[in-house]
């Protein structure tokens, strides 16, 4: 059975949710924070990041969007195929969320990687939150335009990653009140049985 490696507070929650939604035969292994930098895990994923899936033959798949695509192709039913309108839009949304929104958090989680002086670090943070605010407003508008229930109008893996990104607002100076559709989406997700299973597996609590 493949093993999905996760860690509390990380974007690995997204494929964890997908495994729960699909009831996929995947073992979810949650590591303590810091274990991702130890030799045992680095032997699995030399990037030292989660998520990663290790298959029974020893092959390893990394990157959340890639793992979600594999889960949908292998265990999904109608709606998860990339040859459907929803599947194409899901791929587009996940690409945006992982390569732009998630990447923008670099200035929040590690501003010292972009500047050296205290003043410069504060400038990095300020610009980071400006950029994130723009991303969140955009995603809030897309969610609203698509009916407000699901990011693409129907439930998709984009909702699992959006939930992760929305949770992270709590760690920033930004306010949930500025993104009402995202706030409602987070509450909807936290009422979802699959999301609740994934949160428990990853030793995490609901926010809303």
Ranges for all domains in the chain classified under CATH 1.20.1050.10: 85-192
CA–CA dist 94, 152 (Å, integer): 11
CATH class of the domain at 85-192: mainly alpha
Alpha-carbon distance 77 to 67, whole Å?
16
Say whether pLDDT at 112 is over 70. yes
Taking each helix axis from N to C terminus, what angle separates 157-168 and 118-145, rounded to the nearest 10 degrees? 140
Query: Which CATH class for the 3-77 domain?
Result: alpha beta
Q: What is the pLDDT of residues 86-110, one digit of tens each?
A: 889 999 999 999 999 999 999 999 8
pLDDT of residue 119: 94
| pTM of the shown model | 0.94
User: What pLDDT, on a 0 to 100 scale, did the predictor assign at position 76?
Assistant: 80
User: What are the start and end residues of each CATH 3.40.30.10 domain in the chain?
Assistant: 3-77
């Amino acid at each position: 059975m493949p093993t999905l490696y996760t860690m509390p507070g990380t974007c690995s929650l997204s494929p964890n949710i997908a495994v729960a939604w699909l009831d996929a035969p995947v073992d979810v292994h949650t590591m303590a924070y810091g274990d991702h930098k130890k030799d045992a895990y680095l032997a699995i994923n030399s990037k030292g990041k989660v998520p990663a899936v290790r298959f029974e033959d020893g092959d390893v798949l990394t990157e959340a969007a890639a793992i979600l695509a594999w889960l949908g192709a292998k265990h999904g039913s109608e709606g998860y195929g990339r040859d459907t309108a929803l599947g194409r839009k899901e791929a587009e949304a996940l690409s945006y969320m992982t390569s732009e929104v998630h990447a923008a958090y670099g200035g929040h989680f590690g501003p010292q990687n972009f500047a050296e002086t205290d003043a410069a670090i504060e400038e990095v943070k300020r610009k980071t939150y400006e950029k994130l605010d723009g991303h969140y407003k955009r995603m809030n508008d897309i969610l609203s335009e698509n009916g407000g229930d699901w990011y693409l109008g129907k439930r998709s893996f984009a909702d699992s990653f959006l939930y992760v990104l929305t949770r992270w607002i709590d760690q920033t100076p930004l306010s949930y009140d500025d993104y009402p559709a995202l706030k409602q989406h987070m509450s909807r997700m936290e009422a979802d049985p699959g999301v609740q299973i994934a949160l428990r597996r990853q030793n995490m609590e609901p926010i809303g």
